[in-house]
Structure 1
């Protein structure tokens, strides 16, 4: 499968939305393509936070369903400054897996690795970023937007 990755290159591999990851064991081109796609998503999202009042921002056609289910299952989660160890504990991962799987058929790339800021008042940086499934990112960011936690980025711009 490495020949296919070489043939496609980074741009070609990044354009493939659903690739069987097990077929690409530690292929540097695929890992690079994935990292590029994650970074581009993060950059685009942060530009949106700066350009549009976050409370008016729609991220998916399923925003209400994601917000409602998140509130029901994780209403007590502190989202302004996320504790990465708590977020990624064994128990938490199991709860999040159940949550994410609810949106498998309705949210495109629901489980694609996505960069999440740990502290909502700060931008993306190595120390303020963790990787989560896309629908988990949506859930947390939709809640942050609704609670006004991302307003500071819009006001700065």
Structure 2
């Protein structure tokens, strides 16, 4: 029997799994932010299904301002139900469609504790595809000198050793 098909209640909170998920989510956000720094985001494709994701997103959420996402607006009871219905459309299309993914609330900021929201993967795709197509992510490379956290830590270490 496949262990992943067993009821979640049997497992409790496994701290190791939580750390692994957090590490994977952080790695994804680091990679994505570096991609934003290196390309014209209006041409960036996140999935083979970007057109479908974007079309359904703007049909279901035509007035959502994606430049700045207020967590309480997308997670209130009314919008949570709308987002759940939206996400379910992609259940059999997007791999790991409901996997928790880190998203920047404000396109003018980077990934920081104050500017990061946890959302399902397809919600991340919908908002980020809209941001890219609508030109809202193109200023990232102008505002930030992007590089991986590992490189930043290595540079900080060299600076600390030199001092």
Counterpart residue number, 1:9: none
Unaligned runs of 5+ in 2: 146-163
Counterpart residue number, 2:151: none
TM-score if structure 2 supplies the norm length? 0.82
Distance (Å, rounded) in 2 between the aligned partners of 1:139 and 1:101:
13
State how many pairs are aligned.
141
Distance (Å, rounded) in 1 between the aligned partners of 2:140 and 2:7:
35
Counterpart residue number, 2:123: 136
Any residues of structure 2 matched to 1:1-157 within 5 Å, and which?
22=8, 23-156=10-143
C-alpha contact 1:24 1:30 (8 A) present in aligned 2 = no
Q: For residues 19 and 58 of structure 1, do their structure 2 counterparts lie closer, same or farther at Cα, with a shift above 3 Å needed?
A: farther
Distance (Å, rounded) in 2 between the aligned partners of 1:20 and 1:39:
27
TM-score if structure 1 supplies the norm length? 0.85
User: How far is the alpha carbon of 1:38 from its aligned partner?
Assistant: 0.6
Distance (Å, rounded) in 1 between the aligned partners of 2:132 and 2:111:
16
Distance (Å, rounded) in 2 between the aligned partners of 1:40 and 1:20:
28
Provide, for residues 79-136 of structure 1, a one-character-per-residue CA deviation record: whole Å limited to 9, x for no partner: 1111111111011110000000000111011000000100011100000001000000
Q: CA RMSD in A?
A: 1.7
Distance (Å, rounded) in 2 between the aligned partners of 1:115 and 1:47:
14
Larger Cα-atom Rg: 2
Unaligned runs of 5+ in 1: 5-17
